Structure 1
Amino acid sequence: MKHYGTQAGLSLVELMVALAISSFLILGVTQIYIDNKRSYSFQQNLAENQEGSRYTLLLLQQELAKAGYRRRPDVPFDEAFPANNALGCSFAKGQTAKQFSTTQNAVCIRYQPHNPLERDCLGNLPVNAAAIDTTPYTDAGETIVERLFLDGNTLMCQTAHVTSSTKTAGPGELVSGIADLRFEFGVGTASNDRRVNKYIAAPDGPVLTIRYTALMRSSNINLRDGIDIDTALLNWRNLTGISTEDTLLADLKTADRGNLYQISQSAVMLRNLLP
């Protein structure tokens, strides 16, 4: 009588097949994890740009809309806002919104506080808040000057409260993640000072609106697949009219690490300055 032994364990062929199947499964799960992580990072940075641009536009709209506010509308602008050089803004008599120096990513505005609780862009109350009457058509005795400018990738604010003396504060950080920021002034003409005729960097007529264009840049890198920096910045270049020889464009290309970009543009009508 013949006795046949039973098999114990796995054969080499079975082991190799099991290892091959397991390897494919592990590779598949790993690839799904990497894709999901990349997709999550892309969505997070996209949301970061959207939130940053939304906050930037809302903040600029809130602050720029204050330009030229007077406690007494019956007082001419030339009397309400005399010539002043607070924060180096070099305001002419009656001027309340202008480009800072020759820098297109900085703007200066000034206004009178609406009430004792009127806070500037840094959250400071008026210096003489206790003396400001809440009733209209009364003198504030104070003018607030704000300089909004881009420093690196951060929107900054510096303020000056002008009374019999001048008290400055800041600069302080407002929003980060901004690769570039441009201000343009919508001006009218002598014959029609209630309609925007053109947008220019340095206003040469009645200022009716301020338009601002922000280029947001994500904090994470390596998020663009097959899209070079020239393509990513094409719309921004078309909007701003920047030349290929501009040093800022070269700096943006040098700093790029596959980040995501988003352009936001808006304009605020300076109702306080309308004739």
Structure 2
Amino acid sequence: MKRSFEITSFCSPNQAGVSLIELMVAVTIGAILIFGATQVYVDSRKTYETSEIVARLQETARYAIAVIEPDVRMSNYWGLVKGSGVIANQASASEAPGGGPDNCGINHARDLLTNLEGTNNSYSLSCDAYGAGAVESADTLTVRRAATTIAAATAGTLQICSTRMMGRLFSDGGPCTAAPAGQVNDLIVNTYYVDRDSVQQEDAPALRRWSLAAGPSFSSQEIIPGVEDMQIQFGIDTTGTSAIASRYVNPGSLPTGAQIVAVRIWILVRAENPEVGFIDGRVYEYGDRIGEKNGNCNTADLNATDAATCAYAPADSFRRLLVSRTIQIRNAIGT
């Protein structure tokens, strides 16, 4: 007995394939969606990279200020004694060498009467700056003070022996038992400057300092790379009695008898690497870099011979951040 099987088709007699036009429309829509998603990803990635660069610039600026600010704030602190005028064995830059260290300048460490000083648009220390040298038109800032912690008398270290009435500078290890007998604090002397090279990379600027060390001598330290410029101004009390700044002046322009009661500092921070598709078209005016007040001059090179006091217009692919801080000095009154 034979059995027959009937194959039944489930396809609708009215069903047809996709036309070429429909296929092209579908492909076009798909391509548009893929392109849009890719563009969103690229834009998000670019935004993330920009945010990351800005965050690192802010971090660099915060760290640089965090190092300088407490040092400046405590300038003119000399241990138990009020004012450096009664500290023996100090010597000014105009006097004969007072026993060193002099590798950064005669009596650079011992000029205690000048607790704060700076150079305007120049680097004038006799100790050579790191690598290719200091940024020509950046300012420098020197802070002199006693350390805030009590130390043991140590040979080869410049220290201050102080009482409530007087003090003396010594480096022979003491003891601090005669003329006067009192407290021992290490002497702190830091000179901040901007260098053209960092330890990590040539042609990458960095904030550096010369610091008084054992020996005694001055040693070079890199604080943080990425700092391209530093400008400072001193807030002065012309009466020497109020500890209130009546005006701000550039280093080297202090009126006779004026007391420095504050320091205003500008830090310009530059990204580590150039950014593709970005041009820094800003004109930076800060400190005494005021182009309008100086013949409307702009400079694209901070190391150019005519860069001092000109506004900075880099026009390159590095992203930058300019920050400013005014630091009040706790021990402003008293010499």
Normalised to the residue count of structure 1, the TM-score between the two structures is 0.74
1:163-182 → structure 2 map (5 Å cutoff): 166-170=216-220, 172-182=221-231
> Cα 1:139–1:272, aligned 2, differ >3 Å: closer, same or farther?
same
Aligned to 1:111: 145
In 2, Cα distance between the equivalents of 1:42 and 1:50?
12
1:161-212 Cα offsets, whole Å, 9 max, x none, are 48xx632211x21122223211111112146552212211223322111110
Q: Is the 8 A contact 1:148 1:157 kept in 2?
A: yes
1:28 and 2:44 matched: no
The Cα shift of 1:114 comes to: 2.9
1:210 and 2:263 matched: yes
Which of these residues, 217, 223, 243, is aligned with residue 194 of structure 1? Answer: 243
Secondary structure of the corresponding residue to residue 112 of structure 1: strand
Amino acid at match of 1:174: I
1:76-225 → structure 2 map (5 Å cutoff): 76-77=84-85, 79=87, 81-84=90-93, 87-88=104-105, 92=111, 94-100=113-119, 103=122, 104-116=138-150, 127=157, 138-140=182-184, 142-152=186-196, 153-161=205-213, 166-170=216-220, 172-190=221-239, 192=241, 194-201=243-250, 202=252, 203-204=254-255, 205-222=258-275
Larger Rg: 2
Identity of aligned residues (%): 21
> Cα 1:11–1:34, aligned 2, differ >3 Å: closer, same or farther?
same
> Cα 1:41–1:75, aligned 2, differ >3 Å: closer, same or farther?
closer
In 1, Cα distance between the equivalents of 2:107 and 2:121?
12
Question: How many residues were matched structurally?
Answer: 254
Stretches of structure 2 that go unaligned for 5 or more consecutive residues are 1-11, 94-101, 123-137, 160-172, 197-204
The Cα shift of 1:240 comes to: 4.0
Q: Is the 8 A contact 1:154 1:177 kept in 2?
A: yes
Aligned to 1:37: 45
Normalised to the residue count of structure 2, the TM-score between the two structures is 0.63
> Cα 1:166–1:270, aligned 2, differ >3 Å: closer, same or farther?
same
> Cα 1:219–1:75, aligned 2, differ >3 Å: closer, same or farther?
closer
> Cα 1:141–1:31, aligned 2, differ >3 Å: closer, same or farther?
closer
Stretches of structure 1 that go unaligned for 5 or more consecutive residues are 119-125
1:23-57 Cα offsets, whole Å, 9 max, x none, are 11111011101110111112112212222222222
Amino acid at match of 2:104: L
RMSD: 3.8
The Cα shift of 1:70 comes to: 0.6
Secondary structure of the corresponding residue to residue 73 of structure 1: coil
Amino acid at match of 1:39: T
Pick which of 7-16 and 89-98 moved more. Answer: 7-16
In 1, Cα distance between the equivalents of 2:83 and 2:40?
68
